[in-house]
Structure 1
């Protein structure tokens, strides 16, 4: 969604903020649910995780190339093709919000098991903050995999292959994404401090993902 650089609130977005079909489907679903709530009193709780990453303690994740892991996959592809360097067209200031999967599960379970309104329309964000840039993550991935990562428009055929693999994610990797979670914390009414990844956590996440390469 086109909210990079400012805070995304826990509310229904009335303007069209989407940049791809996946986001459009979610945006349309939220408005359809709101219509059912308004017309038939359907109680609705919308839970929006940000960019989900591996478990905060084990780093486990599904290796499906989604989210920030797509950029790591591009480096893996370069290595498999025999390359030793990659140039990635990423902003130096982009900071995606990365939320560990165990936090997402804990907060979703909390919304299910804690007090639940019998009626109403609620929106909550599972977010953890933006402590690192996408460049920091990809540089780390390159160091682990033995591929030199630099930044700028693609120059070589291998750069262009990597760019084609990641270009749909560039808006997410090149901007800072901040999400308000005050309604979630107020509703759960307990200590739900986000698990913001540390530098050590980020290294563990990338190492786990690259382990089989």
Structure 2
């Protein structure tokens, strides 16, 4: 008797991490139902157009290099007659909805059907900005949206619930964080994003336990581009710092070509701050490996780098990759009460969102994760000069994400 394919409802499938996980779920033999955010007066077609753009995004992560690699890999495994796109056509359905709305913004018949046919929920959709003035949006999407997805998981057929959190729900702790529930009643956070994800995580644990829903929480750290191709569609975090250094280098070369050895640029932070970077392909591979195991239910997993680089090491890597010679970049502690040069003010202004992370010595225990990944043969790529060259090189070749508007940019997360 042929084994029935599991059906997984995925939110956030058009996002950076969500699209990478979606491709792997598809390639692993799951049937998928994608909940994509539907705009007012918008319809999802079954022909070319917007749905075609979504498919292209999920399969190729917006970039030709990644699409070619994925289809080539798929062809090697399944034969030349079947590609990931073919798999998409036969195993994926797209639904327009909204996780912040009643019944997920679906038509009644759609909601009822999904409640009874879906086996597992993979909830990746989230607001990820760090702007504290948009705290209401963070709470609505990250907390209310998660509550709605939990209610869906408990309606009709009970479904296993997979939740993408963040390792930084630990907030301003400066010690080792373990893969268990955080119970600090009054935690301190670096921003409202961390707070919203902490609250949402507590909601998941409490609701799932109360309703006996099997759940798994994944806590990735700072996600960067693909370790093989550098492909990314998000140019924040590490890319912000690399771009500022790149622009400073170019500006100084243009205006002070003979005096670079005399220039020191002070930046905030401490040299031994830990910057926990993980390539998106590693994170997606790890999540799918964990998701496939029944024994991983009711557990939390840190998808983090076991050997993260220190800020001083990362500075040296970026300086080398960007070929910044002669200019000294000094990591010089807090910057609030110092007289800064124009360049230093520029650096601080453009990277202020991440200021507190440049002082963090937070470490993440990841034994739960490593025990699963060891069996699966998955290891976290080391942050080396070669990897930095791939990641930063991709960003430079794509102008740090400043590309002409395409049809793919019309697609939003659910």
- TM-score w.r.t. length of structure 2: 0.45
1:20 aligns with 2:191: yes
Q: CA–CA distance in 1 between the matches of 2:234 and 2:183?
A: 34
Q: Equivalents in 1 of 2:313, 2:188: separation in Å?
A: 27
Q: How many residues align?
A: 208
Give the one of 255, 268, 275 matched to 1:89: 268
Match among 286, 299, 310 for residue 133 of structure 1: 310
Query: Please, which of 78, 89, 94 is the counterpart of residue 248 of structure 2?
Result: 78
- Aligned equivalents of 2:229 and 2:396: distance in 1? 14
Q: CA, structure 1 residues 134+208, in 2 after alignment: closer, same or farther (shift >3 Å)?
A: farther
- Residue 58 of structure 1 deviates from its aligned partner by 1.9
How far the C-alpha of 1:146 sits from its partner, in A, is 4.2
Looking at structure 2, the residues matched to 39 and 114 of structure 1 have their Cα atoms a distance apart, in angstroms, of 23
Whole-angstrom distance in 2 between the partners of 1:185 and 1:177? 18
Pick one of 76, 83, 105 that aligns with 2:284. Answer: 105
Greater share of residues in helix: 2
What is the CA deviation profile of residues 47-74 of structure 1, one whole-angstrom value per residue up to 9, with x for unaligned ones?
A: 0111112222222223422x22221132
CA offset digits 1:72-103 (Å, max 9, x no partner): 132244357x3456431121112212111111
Q: Distance in 2 between matches of 1:189 and 1:197?
A: 19
Is the partner of 1:45 in helix, strand or coil? Answer: strand
Asked if the contact 2:177–2:364 (Cα under 8 Å) also holds between the matched residues in 1, the reply is yes
Partner in structure 1 of residue 108 of structure 2: none
- Point out where structure 1 has 5 or more consecutive residues left out of the alignment: none
- 1:50 and 2:221 aligned: yes
Distance 1:128 1:71, change over 3 A: same
SS at the partner of 1:46? strand
Partner of 1:193: 379
Question: Is the radius of gyration larger for structure 1 or structure 2?
Answer: 2
- Deviation per residue, 1:86-129 (Å, 9 max, x gap): 43112111221211111101111112223356xx5321011123
Structure 2: segments with no counterpart, 5+ residues? 1-170, 254-262, 400-414
The verdict on how the C-alpha distance between 1:189 and 1:159 changes in structure 2, with shifts beyond 3 A counting, is closer
The answer (yes or no) to whether the contact 1:50–1:98 under 8 Å persists in 2 is: yes
CA spacing shift, 1:210–1:129, aligned 2, 3 Å: farther
Q: Of 342, 349, 367, which residue of structure 2 is paired with 1:164?
A: 349
- Describe the shift of the 1:42–1:212 C-alpha distance in structure 2 as closer, same or farther (beyond 3 A): closer
Looking at structure 1, the residues matched to 235 and 227 of structure 2 have their Cα atoms a distance apart, in angstroms, of 18
Q: Contact 2:311/2:358 (CA < 8 Å) preserved in 1?
A: yes
CA RMSD between the two structures = 2.6
Deviation at 1:202, TM superposition (A): 2.7
Larger displacement relative to structure 2 (24-33 or 194-203): 194-203
Q: Is residue 317–residue 385 contact of structure 2 (8 Å, CA) maintained in 1?
A: no
Counterpart-to-counterpart distance in 2, 1:135 and 1:211: 25
Pair 1:210–1:94, CA change in 2 (3 A): farther
Cα separation, 1, equivalents of 2:188 and 2:386: 34
